[in-house]
Amino acid sequence: MLTIKNLAVSIEGEDKPVIKGFSLEVKPGEVHAIMGPNGSGKSTLSYVLAGRDGYEVTGGSITFEGEDLMEMEPEERAAAGIFLAMQYPVEIPGVANSYFLRQALNALKKARGEPEVSAADFMKKLKAKAEAIGIRPEFLKRDVNAGFSGGEKKRNEILQLAMLEPKLCILDETDSGLDIDALRTVSDGVNALRSPDRAMIVITHYQRLLDYIVPDHVHVMADGVIRKSGGKELALELEEQGYEGLLGEAA
Amino acid sequence: MTAIARKPSPRHTPPVPAFTDLFQATSGQLPGSGTAMLDEWRQRHFARFNATGVPTQRVEHWKYTNIAKVANVAMGLASRPDVKLEDVQRYFAGGPLARRLIFINGHLANELSHVGGLPDGVVIKSLDAMLREAPDRVLAALGDDRAIDASGPHSFADLNAAFLQSGAWIEVADGVTLERPIQLLFLTAGEASAVMTHPRIVVHLGDGARAHLIESHVGVRDGHCLTNLVADYAIGAEARLAHDRLQLGAAGTTFVGLNRIAIGEKGELKQTVATLGGDLVRNETDMHLNGSFIEAQLNGVYMPVAAEHVDNVIRVHHEKPDCHSDQFYKGLALDKAKAAFAGKIFVYQDAQRTNAFQQNSNMLLSDDAEIDSKPELEIYADDVKCSHGATCGELDPTALFYLRSRGLSKAEAESLLTYAFAAEVLERFTDPAVMKLAQERLVARTPGGANLTDML
């Protein structure tokens, strides 16, 4: 589904590379966890996949279902089925949450040549999904993320994920700012979306999230590259030894 | 009439002679004419207007607007064209039970108005009726149009007094809560030749009184018309006023408005203003917090398009300790439009523990648009929390990316964020119908707004 080969990325306007020859193959149905210390390039990777401005790809390639991702605008990537649940979801005062989600869903459907959903069908689905993720109905009427707590913002990202049903979900530090109960409901929401056609990349600092969203593959990233890959047990090893211990050097 | 021979300063330009001709031609025909005290009052104000002249941009609070260009020209008094109920109904706000006075080019449209069934202690009347029935009370309330600052008499307040035709007189007695909103709907039908109208609003809320006032200015026909409004709000101790003001002026029209607000101890005001139409709109507010523990919230949004011009001037006077005032103004300018925001907070020496805030955020949506923002603080007390901030920027790239990453096209994301920037203020309207009317106009003014109509 997603093939990243020897990817090299710099911050625009700076010479310093942040990602230095990163390769990853993600197949449908798989859940990959990417762990790593601060500054290892995890978040940069997620932004590059989603198509955010401000990064310069200086080498390598990213293909998504055979298409060159680097040639696509962020909305084209969304239409192709990529979704990034952001570490810091943006507040948009003045736009109601439910309206925004319906616009987004219909924009995706339009781009895919599918019929738009009716307002009634949309609201029915939205209410059901919100309830499952533990989002109270009044949050749907409130402005997008405006005045939401950290945990509420993360739940709202998962609600968007559940409504937009992408093929590839990238979760960037979805666990940060969540207490243990919120972590559980958010993880349940994510797990409900696991399917043989859908892949996930879960980016996190801590092993804790992976107790709930159990990955098929774990990659440890440091200094812009994958330093070690393994199964779910690698996360536990990392928890015990720390990045320094596992990678055998100051990470 | 008396003429005062005084050479106008360069800060003012002498009024064109047509004002004097018109004043003489209409004397005896304005509401209440023939009442000696009222005639004398009009003459006194007209003489002062003539002596002062029309402000130029050298007067500090007229810095951003060349008002003489449109207001110091020969104008007649606007006549009352016919307007049908079905053409204005869509601007009704305040719900089915709202009491409503409707004015067309400054003339009361009695047949369209409805202010019946008032509870004890409440008076809602057209000002022309009050001028005929109780001119002494009107004059006592209006006083001498006190000067607002050191720049001298207020020319437009004086001109308004000279030609005062109609408007609204609202009194709510001590302790009375008026549940149903009052809407003052001012319709302007522009004319082929230059005309003007001089309405006034007088609101008196007694101690502990509560009311919700909706003030709508709607252009129903393009063309010339200068509306020169003066509004006086006296909000008693522990009284509470919600004030929604919607300005949907038509092309060719000019609006010059002066709000004078005085609030007593523990009084509350929540005012929200949306300026979304009219060639030139000038909103001036002078608010005095005369007691302690007053809460005053001033919200506003302006979005001029084409060659429109909007000028906001706000002065907040914290005279006593422990008050809280908050100004939240946002502006967008498109095309060749211009807008200005000049807000000043005065904290008097007595006014310890004042909390006074002012935020003015602006967005320029065209290279040819211009917005001037001038926040000012003048503080004479030492234990205060005051802040002001002005920004002028473009759409937030992070928010744009966020929306696009969810599937919206760049153009759709830009439209939505532009709308959202202004809509945040509209959410502060007390009346949902006013909010909806403002949202509709905002969508119509937002580039690519056609995609947003199903939001409403």
Rg over alpha carbons for chain A, rounded to the nearest Å, is 18
Mean pLDDT for the stretch of residues B134-163: 82
Tell me the pairing of strands B107-108 and B295-302. unpaired
- Cα gap B113→B103, rounded to integer Å: 9
Q: Which helix (H) or strand (E) holds A210?
A: helix A208-212
Q: Which of B399, B407, B455 sits opposite A75 (nearest CB)?
A: B407
Contact A84 B405 (CB under 8 A): yes
pLDDT the model gives residue A251: 43
Contact A143 B399 (CB under 8 A): no
Mean pLDDT for the stretch of residues A120-134: 90
Q: Taking a C-beta distance cutoff of 8 angstroms, is the pair B316, B345 a contact?
A: yes
Tell me the pairing of strands B225-235 and B253-263. parallel
Q: Which helix (H) or strand (E) holds B386?
A: strand B385-393
Q: Residue B176 pLDDT > 50, yes or no?
A: yes
- Average pLDDT of the residues of chain A: 91
pLDDT the model gives residue A151: 84
Min distance B332 CA to chain A CA atoms (Å):
14
For the segment B189-215, what is each residue's pLDDT rounded down to a tens digit? Answer: 999 999 999 999 999 999 999 999 999
Mean pLDDT for the stretch of residues B160-173: 95
pLDDT the model gives residue B3: 54
Contact A95 B408 (CB under 8 A): no
Contact A94 B402 (CB under 8 A): no
Tokens matching residue A110 = 């339009």
Our measurement of the distance from residue A54's CA atom to the centroid of its chain's CA atoms, rounded to an integer in Å, reads 19
- Cα gap B446→B365, rounded to integer Å: 10
pLDDT the model gives residue B6: 59
The backbone torsions φ and ψ at residue A218, rounded to the nearest 5 degrees and listed phi first, read -125, 130
Q: Which of A75, A86, A94 sits opposite B421 (nearest CB)?
A: A94
Q: Residue B164 pLDDT > 90, yes or no?
A: yes
Tokens matching residue A139 = 């949050």
pLDDT the model gives residue B150: 59
Q: Residue B5 pLDDT > 70, yes or no?
A: no
pLDDT class for B148, splitting at 50, 70, 90? Answer: low
ipTM for the predicted complex comes to 0.94
Q: Taking a C-beta distance cutoff of 8 angstroms, is the pair A163, B406 a contact?
A: no
Mean pLDDT for the stretch of residues B81-97: 92
Give which of B44, B258, B22, B29 is closest to B132, Cα–Cα. B29
- Average pLDDT of the residues of chain B: 93
Q: Residue B48 pLDDT > 90, yes or no?
A: yes
For the segment A18-28, what is each residue's pLDDT rounded down to a tens digit? Answer: 999 999 999 99
pLDDT the model gives residue B92: 97
Q: Residue A218 pLDDT > 50, yes or no?
A: yes
- Cα gap B226→B237, rounded to integer Å: 35
CA angle B40, B41, B46 (to 5 degrees): 95
Contact residues, chain A to chain B, C-beta under 8 Å: 50-53, 73-75, 77-79, 83-84, 86, 89-90, 92-96, 99-100, 103-105, 107-108, 111, 143, 160, 164
- What is the DSSP-derived secondary structure letter of residue B7? P
Q: Residue B1 pLDDT > 50, yes or no?
A: no
- Cα gap B111→B108, rounded to integer Å: 9
Mean pLDDT for the stretch of residues B99-109: 96
Q: Residue A173 pLDDT > 50, yes or no?
A: yes
Q: Taking a C-beta distance cutoff of 8 angstroms, is the pair B370, B340 a contact?
A: no
pLDDT the model gives residue B143: 77
Mean pLDDT for the stretch of residues B286-309: 97
Number of CB atoms found within 10 A of residue B185's CB: 24
Contact B399 A75 (CB under 8 A): no
Residue B410, chain A, CB below 8 Å: the answer is yes
Number of A–B residue contacts, CB under 8 Å: 83
Q: Residue B54 pLDDT > 80, yes or no?
A: yes
Q: What percent of chain B has pLDDT over 90?
A: 86
CA atoms within 13 A on the CB side of A42: 27
For the segment B394-449, what is each residue's pLDDT rounded down to a tens digit? Answer: 899 999 999 999 999 999 999 999 999 999 999 999 999 999 999 999 999 999 98
The backbone torsions φ and ψ at residue A167, rounded to the nearest 5 degrees and listed phi first, read -85, -35
Contact A143 B409 (CB under 8 A): no
Contact B401 A73 (CB under 8 A): no
Mean pLDDT for the stretch of residues A6-10: 94
Residue A179: burial class (beta carbons within 10 Å; 0-12, 13-18, 19+): exposed
Which residues 6+ apart lie within 8 Å of B58 measured at CB? Answer: B10, B11
Q: Could you write out the three-class secondary structure of B140-209? A: HHHCCCCCCECCECCHHHHHHHHHCCCEEEEEECCCCECCCCEEEEEEEECECCCEEECCEEEEEECCCC
pLDDT class for A235, splitting at 50, 70, 90? Answer: confident
- Cα gap B130→A39, rounded to integer Å: 74
pLDDT the model gives residue B149: 60
Query: Of B117 and B2, which is predicted with more confidence?
Result: B117
Min distance B298 CA to chain A CA atoms (Å):
18
Mean pLDDT for the stretch of residues A41-45: 92
Residue B150: burial class (beta carbons within 10 Å; 0-12, 13-18, 19+): exposed
Residue B290: burial class (beta carbons within 10 Å; 0-12, 13-18, 19+): middle
- Cα gap B267→B240, rounded to integer Å: 6
- Cα gap B24→B1, rounded to integer Å: 9
pLDDT class for A39, splitting at 50, 70, 90? Answer: confident
pLDDT the model gives residue B375: 92
Q: Residue B244 pLDDT > 70, yes or no?
A: yes
For the segment B246-284, what is each residue's pLDDT rounded down to a tens digit? Answer: 999 999 999 999 999 999 999 999 999 999 999 999 999
Q: Residue A42 pLDDT > 60, yes or no?
A: yes
Query: Of B4 and B23, which is predicted with more confidence?
Result: B23
- Cα gap B149→B288, rounded to integer Å: 12
Q: Residue B147 pLDDT > 60, yes or no?
A: no
Give start and end residues of each alpha helix (H) in B261-396.
Answer: none
Mean pLDDT for the stretch of residues A1-16: 92
End-to-end CA distance of chain A: give it in Å, rounded: 30
Q: Which of A92, A93, A104 sits opposite B407 (nearest CB)?
A: A104
Mean pLDDT for the stretch of residues A91-113: 92
- Cα gap B373→B327, rounded to integer Å: 13
With beta carbons under 8 A apart, name residues in chain A contacting B409: 75, 107
With beta carbons under 8 A apart, name residues in chain B contacting A100: 403, 406, 416
- Cα gap A210→B269, rounded to integer Å: 52
Partners of residue A20 on adjacent β-strands: A8
For the segment A49-78, what is each residue's pLDDT rounded down to a tens digit? Answer: 999 999 999 999 999 999 999 999 999 999
- Cα gap B229→B159, rounded to integer Å: 10
